[in-house]
């Protein structure tokens, strides 16, 4: 009987040892899976910290994370995250604004990756893994082929129908006015009050300073800016502030 017990214990220890071997850090299969999980976690953490504005002033997406960022920005999760942001705007609008009907209630939208998408361009240019070539990007913008973003398209028309004046504030150059207007109209946007683009005197300003200056101009004219929707922190930060700001996800590039 004692011999049987000893034999059973020995077999049990052997089986446990074999099972444990599957999880040994030196096991190649386990090690590959661990590296893959670690890289995924790292890249998702990098993306989240871009959205939180903890990571700033980056020129390119880390090379090891380009595939992860591309997968996110073309995924149903990106669409769901944008839609959730728009739902929060709609909720805010349902209770925020006592419009006076004097033509001075206003809302601001950014343009690129807020109303229209640059993802078709970045699909062909490294998806953030290459430093943005301004000349190449502007040549693409001149083609007026950027698609509308469905979530903000509906919001744009909802806000316009509420009687607010809509101002578009873009970091694009003034020289791109005609193709920008053509692009917006071609995909169904119309009825905005003014499109602000960067003149020659604005091109050397930081984007945040330029957009803050536009808000000051509007407020000095008596406009009440109930909200801003944009994909860059530089569209939302700075003084004077809007009553609320809403950021859409974008971890492909950073504009300061």
Q: What ranges do the domains of the chain cover?
A: 57-247
**120: preceding bond cis by omega (within 30 degrees):** no
Tally of residues, the chain: 256
Provide mean pLDDT across the span 151-170: 97
Residue 37 to residues 10, 31, 33, 89, Cα–Cα distance (Å)? 35, 10, 6, 35
pLDDT at 166: 98
Q: How far apart are CA 255 and CA 20, in angstroms?
A: 50
- pLDDT at residue number 31: 43
Dist CA 98 CA 69 (whole Å):
40
Q: How far apart are CA 127 and CA 131, in angstroms?
A: 10
Task: Give 95's contacts (C-beta < 8 A, 6+ positions apart).
Answer: none
Contacts of 85 (CB under 8 A, 6+ apart): 151, 229, 246, 247, 248, 249
- What residues have CB less than 8 Å from 35, skipping those under 6 apart? none
- Closest residue by Cα to residue 235 from 47, 53, 44, 48: 53
The burial class, CB within 10 Å (0-12 / 13-18 / 19+), for 192 is middle
Share of the chain above pLDDT 90, in %: 80
**pTM given for the model:** 0.85
Nearest to 232 by CA among 212, 217, 248, 219: 248
Structure tokens belonging to residue 157? 């028309």
- Give residue-wise pLDDT tens across range 75-89: 999 999 999 999 999
Judge contact between 97 and 105, C-beta under 8 A. yes
- The pLDDT value recorded for residue 37 is 72
CATH class held by domain 57-247: alpha beta
CB atoms within 10 A of CB 88: 12
Q: What is the pLDDT of residues 184-196, one digit of tens each?
A: 999 999 999 999 9
pLDDT in tens, 10-55: 444 444 443 333 333 334 443 444 456 799 999 999 999 999 999 9
């Amino acid at each position: 009987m004692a011999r049987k017990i000893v034999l059973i214990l020995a077999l049990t220890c052997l089986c446990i040892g074999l099972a444990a071997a599957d999880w040994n850090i030196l096991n190649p299969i386990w090690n590959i899976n661990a590296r893959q999980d670690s890289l995924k976690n790292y890249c998702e953490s990098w993306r989240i910290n871009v959205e939180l504005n903890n990571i700033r002033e980056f020129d390119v997406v880390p090379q090891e994370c380009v595939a992860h960022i591309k997968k996110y920005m073309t995924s149903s999760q990106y669409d769901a995250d944008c839609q959730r942001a728009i739902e929060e705007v709609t909720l805010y609008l349902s209770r925020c604004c006592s419009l006076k009907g004097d033509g001075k209630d206003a809302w601001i939208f950014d343009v690129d990756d807020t109303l229209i998408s640059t993802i078709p361009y970045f699909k062909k240019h490294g998806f953030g893994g290459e430093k943005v070539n301004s000349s190449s990007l502007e040549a693409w913008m001149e083609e007026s082929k950027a698609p509308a973003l469905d979530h903000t398209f509906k919001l744009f028309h909802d806000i316009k129908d509420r009687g607010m004046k809509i101002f578009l504030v873009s970091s694009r150059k003034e020289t791109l006015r005609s193709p920008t207007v053509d692009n917006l109209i071609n995909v169904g946007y119309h009825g905005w009050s003014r499109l602000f683009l960067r003149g020659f005197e604005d091109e050397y300003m930081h984007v945040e300073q330029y957009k803050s200056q536009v808000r000051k101009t509007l407020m000095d004219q008596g406009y009440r800016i109930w909200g801003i929707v944009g994909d860059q922190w530089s569209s939302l930060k700075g003084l004077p502030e809007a009553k609320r700001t809403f950021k859409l996800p974008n971890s492909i590039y950073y504009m300061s």
